[in-house]
């Protein structure tokens, strides 16, 4: 199965494509981040996310997607804009008829490390190990997207969603 993991954000939306073989072993295909310039309006930034995500979906043809939910944010303005980016991501996936599951950061951390309150570095190290990568993926949002894709496969296959 090919899964698209997405860590939504307005400035940076992390994405990852992972193929899982019949034994559920992950094989990263590609990963990266959609970056939007601070000089653009919020509408222009959301449009950039929409266009780039569409291109990724057409190029990689994922069968399933996992998206991280927004649980808490110290800054209400940031929470609203991240929510807007999430909306664009969810709409784009719906337009392509890609089934998706949404997971909290705690669920992703638990699936990757076995501990829902693991720190970012521990999650990144586990992603590196699970995917047999030489180094921790950069930017952090891409590493998070890899974690989300892996967690999606784990949680969906175990029906823990």
Query: Above 80 in pLDDT, residue 71?
Result: no
Confidence of residue 97 (pLDDT cuts 50, 70, 90): very high
Q: For the whole model, what pTM was predicted?
A: 0.93
Q: What is the pLDDT of residue 60?
A: 98
Are 142 and 120 within 8 A, CB to CB? no
Instruction: Report the CATH number at residue 50.
Output: 3.30.420.10
Share above pLDDT 70 across residues of the chain, in percent, rounded to a whole number: 93
Q: How far apart are the first and last CA of the chain?
A: 17
Q: Considering the candidates 48, 52, 110, 141, report the single residue annotated as catalytic.
A: 141
**What's the CA gap between 75 and 46, in Å, rounded?**
19
Q: Considering the candidates 48, 68, 144, 153, report the single residue annotated as catalytic.
A: 68
Q: What is the pLDDT of residue 70?
A: 73
Q: Which residues pair with 95 in a beta bridge?
A: none
Residue 7 among the catalytic residues: yes
**What's the CA gap between 141 and 125, in Å, rounded?**
14
Residue 68 among the catalytic residues: yes
Binding-site residues for Mg(2+): 7, 68, 141
Query: Above 80 in pLDDT, residue 158?
Result: no
Q: 104: Cβ–Cβ under 8 A, 6 or more apart, which residues?
A: 68, 69, 71
Range of the domain at 107: 2-157
Structural domains counted in the chain: 1
Q: Which residues of 24-60 are buried (b: 16+ CB within 10 A; e: fewer)?
A: eebebeebbbbebeeeeeeeebbebbbebbeebbeee
Are 20 and 153 within 8 A, CB to CB? yes
């Amino acid at each position: 199965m090919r899964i698209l993991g997405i860590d939504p954000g307005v400035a940076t939306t992390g994405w990852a494509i992972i193929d899982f073989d019949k034994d559920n072993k992950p094989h990263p295909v590609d990963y990266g981040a959609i970056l939007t310039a601070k000089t653009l309006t919020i509408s222009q930034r959301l449009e950039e996310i929409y266009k780039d995500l569409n291109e990724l979906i057409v190029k990689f043809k994922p069968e399933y997607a996992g998206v991280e939910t927004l649980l808490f944010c110290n800054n209400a303005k940031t929470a609203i804009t991240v929510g807007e980016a999430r909306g664009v991501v969810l709409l784009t996936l719906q337009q392509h008829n890609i089934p998706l599951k949404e997971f909290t950061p705690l669920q992703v951390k638990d699936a990757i490390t076995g501990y829902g309150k693991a720190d970012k570095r521990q999650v990144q190290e586990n992603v590196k190990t699970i995917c047999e990568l030489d180094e921790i993926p950069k930017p952090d949002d891409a590493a998070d997207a890899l974690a989300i894709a892996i967690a999606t496969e784990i949680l969906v296959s175990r029906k823990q969603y």
